[in-house]
Amino acid sequence: MTNAVIRFEGVEKTYPSRAGTAAVPALTDVNLTVPEAAIVGVIGRSGAGKSTLIRLVNGLEAPTSGRVVVDGTDITALSEPGLREARRSIGMIFQHFNLLARRTAYQNVALPLEIAGVSAREIKARVEPLLDLVGLADKRDRYPAELSGGQKQRVGIARALATRPRVLLSDEATSALDPETTNQILALLRKVNAELKLTVLLITHEMAVIKAVADRVAVLDGGRIVEEGRTFELFARPQHPTTRSFISAITGANLPPHLADRIQAAPIPGGQAVLRIVFTGAHATDPVLSRVSRLLSIDLNIIQAQVDDIAGEPFGVIVVSLPGDAATLGAVTAAIERLGLATEVIGYVS
Ligand code: ADP
């Protein structure tokens, strides 16, 4: 069992009522563990409680009840000086980078070290390798206004690493970036995670971010974690409707419009069932469909097929239609699941 670097234990957070408004329950019974050197993602829609959750880790918010333990220290029990000390081992990056406009890249990265009273010589010895690490050695004397979004976030990452934290918190760090730059920044996060054995907790509203970097993911909905597990498992076998809707946006479970318009939840006499089959790992290239169709003498019509990569593992989704009667459907799903693949009936069409 690996060490838990961040642990939420029975965390509740309710914002007090303001004049005339009811109290807002932002987090309810949150239990979550971030193992050492892992990248854990928390995904949720706007208002789900993501910012509240991440702000509890560096003590910017205090829970109403429960504990948040970081690196063995109960953050909720610390006084202000204790918190300042603890924050030195917790780096953070932000959606809008939060760089100081009047400081160069170098000076922005140096700032936390200046605040900590580190000597100019030691600062230089730390900042230069960090600028190298994030690929910005040639931009050290540029001001934020002279840098692209991706370059600004690189400065943000170097600054967050300056105090040699064990934990990096990422608050929607790629939400303001285009898809290509997003991928570059996510690759950099993976690199620093691997090279520095850094433990990363990130919050996002984009499943593509989770898919690209997170080892594990928690789905936050209305302040509760409704599902949590290995990213790959979650993609392969999503249980909660919220998880499914996040995933369907990117794994091809989005049906072609001509089908999406006609699909119904209940079986239609004489109609067809629409089945989603997830191929994972070793099975990804198995000719499962032809085997099943031959074995059972049933025609499976492929509606959509897509092969993808989730946290480095091959992952395929195929959507097929087949006769929608319970007997056929039962036989086909059983045969496919015996071969180790996951199935889900998406609905029925006439
Ligand atoms: P997210 O980051 O997922 O959008 P937040 O953590 O910001 O979610 O918000 C969760 C809930 O708590 C929302 O209903 C939000 O309106 C409420 N909330 C957040 N911050 C405050 C605050 N400082 N005072 C009162 N309510 C807040």
Least confident residue range of 135-144, 199-208, 273-282: 273-282
pLDDT class of 175 with cuts at 50, 70, 90: very high
Most ligand 1 atoms within 8 A of CB, residue of 11, 14, 15, 55 to mutate:
15
Name the closest-CA residue to atom 7, ligand 1. Answer: 51
With CA atoms as reference, report the closest residue to 26 among 59, 62, 58, 1. 62
Q: Check if the beta carbon of residue 348 is closer than 8 Å to that of residue 264.
A: yes
Per CATH, the homologous superfamily of domain 254-349 is ACT domain (3.30.70.260)
The residue ranking higher by pLDDT, 276 or 307, is 276
Secondary structure letter of residue 145 according to DSSP: G
Residue 281 reports pLDDT greater than 70: no
Q: Does residue 283 or residue 253 have the better pLDDT? A: 283
Q: Which residues line ligand 1 (CB under 6 A)?
A: 15, 24, 26, 44, 46-52
Ranges for all domains in the chain classified under CATH 3.40.50.300: 4-249
Number of CB atoms found within 10 A of residue 119's CB: 10
Q: What is the pLDDT of residue 284?
A: 52
Question: What is the band of 2 on the pLDDT scale with cuts at 50, 70, 90?
Answer: low
CA angle 257-240-33, nearest 5°? 135
Query: Taking 60 as the threshold, does the pLDDT of residue 253 lie above it?
Result: no
Tokens representing 227? 């599902």
Q: Which tokens sit at 329?
A: 């459907």
* Distance from the alpha carbon of residue 308 to the mean position of ligand 1, in angstroms: 34
CATH number of 4-249: 3.40.50.300
- C-alpha 345/C-alpha 320 separation (Å) is 10
What pTM did the predictor assign? 0.83
Q: Residue length, the chain?
A: 350
Instruction: For residue range 81-131, list pLDDT tens digits in order.
Output: 999 889 989 999 999 999 999 999 999 999 999 999 999 999 999 999 999
CATH 3.30.70.260 domain residues, the chain: 254-349
CA 49–ligand 1 middle distance (angstroms): 6
Between 232 and 139, the higher pLDDT residue: 139
Helix (H, G, I), strand (E, B) or coil at 28: strand
The predicted pLDDT at position 244 comes to: 87
| CB-based contacts of 64, cutoff 8 Å, min separation 6 | 12, 13, 14
User: For residue 254, what pLDDT is reported?
Assistant: 63
Atom 23 in ligand 1: residue holding the nearest Cα: 15
Residue type, 329: L
pLDDT at 288: 77
CB atoms near residue 338 (< 10 Å): 9
Ranges of beta strands (E only) in the chain are: 4-15, 24-35, 39-43, 65-70, 73-74, 90-94, 167-171, 199-204, 216-221, 224-230, 272-280, 301-310, 313-323, 342-349
What is the structure's pLDDT at 323? 92
Average pLDDT estimate for 305-310? 78
Give per-residue pLDDT as tens, 178-233.
Answer: 999 999 999 999 999 999 999 999 999 999 999 999 999 999 999 999 999 999 88
| Rounded distance from Cα 61 to ligand 1 centre (Å) | 11
**Is the per-residue pLDDT at 285 higher than 60?**
no
The ligand 1 atom nearest the CA atom of 13: 12
pLDDT of residue 280: 73
Lowest-pLDDT range, 50-54, 89-93, 139-143, 318-322? Answer: 318-322
Distance in Å, CA 27 to ligand 1 centroid: 9
